[in-house]
Amino acid sequence: MKCPKCNEKIDDRTNYCPYCGEEIAPKVCPKCQQYYSNKKFSFCPDCGTKLVSRYQMAKIGEWL
């Protein structure tokens, strides 16, 4: 994948761009619990549930 800020090629599993420091926060499907690093995705391609950030997912976990 490419960093959305500097466009350098980076590993899909990275949390921060090693070139510019941009946070690459994957989104999570609260239903499927799948991670998606494509920032353009708003909904899960598998089940259609609205994706949330890892931070939001952690908060959801606290409520369950």
CB neighbour list of residue 42: distance below 8 Å, 6 or more residues apart: 50, 51
Examine residue 15 and state whether it is found in any structural domain, yes or no. no
List phi, psi (to 5°) of 32: -85, -25
Domain that holds residue 58: 27-63
% of the chain surpassing 70 pLDDT: 91
Examine residue 8 and state whether it is found in any structural domain, yes or no. no
Residue 62: per-residue pLDDT: 57
Examine residue 13 and state whether it is found in any structural domain, yes or no. no
Number of domains in the chain: 1
pLDDT tens string 17-60: 899 998 777 788 999 888 887 778 899 999 999 998 876 777 77
What's the predicted TM-score (pTM) here? 0.57
